[in-house]
């Protein structure tokens, strides 16, 4: 019987995922769930046939250039691939895959959570009750914004964006979207396409960021973009922190251009931006958009399906490099 390939799983994954992987691979695990340095990644690449990393492992051009020849595939446990220098991988002939599709519902749920939490002043309300400072009530008490019936702008109408649109339509929101290409009517589902970002921002009472971080989209929400939003708009971000110029965002929060925001991702992760904590109208989560048991297991299946295909001599379904 052929020896099983050696697979390094860089972070602690679900019990289901690790049990499935153990059937078909010789595993190198990380039960302490520690974050690895570039040097550790390079060192391990000389000892394993494949790597199953998370978004927390950075594969810069320099790191990829120094990977061992033994490693033939990097099967990401994430849909985002901005932590991977794909041209560098292609130059080395190392295959790279990701896990699309399976994160979409969970991430869209968090987008709606952030939207509702920001609009209804969840941070203030939660703190008030926890600190035993809820001592009165009046018609003017804790008045927020209603989500139902408002206009939602979506930047990035891919898998997650389409599900956010579907969920938002359940709140009778009118959906507008900016995307590289207009969707087919069957996928568009009455959402209104904008070729121009600024025209969409101008009609966005709520704005949801759902596009990947690329050279074209990094910093897409900067000073000019914020200026086009209606006064008092609410922005939510479940995609990547790199999409937002954080100083411009803070200026929009301070001026009232944004009345509130909901964030699940930040330019610096982990940790976020400490300046944001000064603002009760910023509802924040620690990048948990895909953090459901069902999604974590499905991500493991997708990553392992890609690995199984590769080591069986087939082309992985989710090949990105």
Q: Which residues are catalytic, by number?
A: 240, 269, 287
CA–CA distances in Å: residue 243 to residues 1, 15, 100, 147, 215: 49, 33, 19, 24, 10
Q: Which residue has the tokens 């900016």?
A: 178
Q: Rounded to 5 degrees, what angle do the CA atoms 71, 47, 30 make?
A: 100
Long-range contacts: 22-25, Cβ < 8 Å, 24+?
Answer: 24/304, 24/308, 25/50, 25/307
User: How many other C-beta atoms are found inside a 10 Å radius of the C-beta of residue 93?
Assistant: 9
Quick one: how many helices (H) and strands (E) in the chain? 12, 12
- Cis-peptide, bond into residue 270, ω within 30° of zero: yes
Residue whose C-alpha is closest to residue 115's, from 173, 39, 30, 51: 173
Instruction: Note whether 287 and 265 are within 8 A (CB).
Output: yes
Instruction: Note whether 49 and 92 are within 8 A (CB).
Output: no
Tokens of 196: 């121009």
Give me the sign of the Cα torsion angle 284, 143, 107, 221.
Answer: negative
Sheet holding 233-237, edge to edge: 192-194, 174-178, 151-155, 206-209, 233-237, 258-263, 282-284
Instruction: Note whether 60 and 38 are within 8 A (CB).
Output: yes
């Amino acid at each position: 019987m052929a020896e099983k390939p050696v697979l390094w799983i860089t972070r602690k994954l679900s019990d289901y995922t690790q049990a499935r992987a153990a059937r078909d691979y010789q595993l190198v695990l990380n039960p302490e769930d520690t974050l690895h340095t570039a040097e550790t990644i390079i060192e391990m690449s000389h000892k394993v046939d494949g790597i199953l990393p998370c978004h927390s492992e950075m594969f810069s051009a320099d790191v990829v250039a120094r990977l061992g020849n033994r490693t033939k595939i990097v099967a990401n446990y994430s849909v985002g691939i901005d932590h991977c220098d794909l041209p560098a991988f292609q130059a080395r002939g190392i295959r790279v895959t990701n896990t699309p599709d399976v994160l979409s519902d969970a991430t869209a749920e968090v987008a709606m959570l952030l939207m509702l939490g920001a609009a209804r002043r969840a941070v203030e309300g939660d703190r008030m009750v926890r600190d035993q400072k809820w001592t009165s009530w009046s018609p003017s008490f804790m008045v927020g914004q209603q989500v139902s019936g408002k206009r939602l702008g979506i930047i990035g109408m891919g898998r997650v964006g389409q599900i956010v649109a579907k969920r938002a339509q359940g709140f009778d929101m009118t959906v507008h979207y900016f995307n590289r290409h207009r969707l087919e009517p069957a996928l568009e589902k009455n959402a209104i396409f904008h070729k121009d970002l600024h025209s969409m921002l101008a009609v966005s009472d709520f704005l949801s960021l759902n596009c990947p971080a690329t050279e074209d989209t990094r910093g897409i929400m900067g000073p000019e973009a914020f200026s086009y939003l209606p006064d008092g708009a609410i922005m939510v971000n479940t995609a990547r922190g790199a999409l937002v110029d954080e100083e411009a965002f803070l200026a929009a929060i301070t001026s009232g251009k944004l009345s509130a925001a909901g964030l699940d991702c930040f330019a610096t992760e982990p940790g976020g931006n400490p300046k944001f904590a000064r603002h009760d109208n910023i509802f924040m989560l620690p990048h948990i958009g895909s953090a459901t048991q069902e999604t974590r297991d499905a991500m493991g299946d997708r990553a392992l399906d890609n690995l199984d295909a590769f080591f069986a001599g087939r082309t992985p379904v989710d090949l990105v490099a």
